[in-house]
């Protein structure tokens, strides 16, 4: 069965898409922790950091560069944090990165 994020990507569940490229997509978190709270999500279903393999290096790099790019576009590039949780701290078993800022 597809993860919630894959279902969002496939337009089965509505979301507010902010950015998309061939490897990942970015949506607004539906329960934001702060003024800006985005989720950077790989299109490939990878459960957790613990499931990453050597072949995922470029994908993870793309996630960080995308976070940097979006932060700059939102004028929060000096005031944000990135969080990647694992297992018990993940609400959805599909790796994703939180971009959070009090600004924006």
The residue annotated as part of the active site, out of 37, 56, 94, 96, is 96
Instruction: Report whether 26 contacts 43 (CB < 8 A).
Output: no
Q: Active site includes 98? A: no
Identify which of 29, 33, 25, 30 has the alpha carbon closest to the alpha carbon of residue 9: 25
- Catalytically active residues are 96
């Amino acid at each position: 069965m597809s993860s919630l994020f894959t279902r969002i990507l496939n337009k089965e569940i509505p979301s507010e898409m902010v950015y998309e490229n061939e490897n990942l997509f970015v949506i607004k978190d539906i329960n934001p922790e702060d003024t800006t709270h985005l989720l950077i999500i790989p299109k490939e279903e990878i459960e957790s950091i613990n499931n990453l393999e050597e072949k995922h290096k470029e994908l993870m790099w793309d996630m960080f560069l995308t976070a940097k790019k979006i932060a700059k576009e939102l004028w929060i590039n000096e005031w944000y944090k990135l969080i990647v949780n694992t297992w018990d701290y993940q609400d959805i078993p599909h790796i994703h990165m939180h971009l959070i800022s009090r600004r924006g």
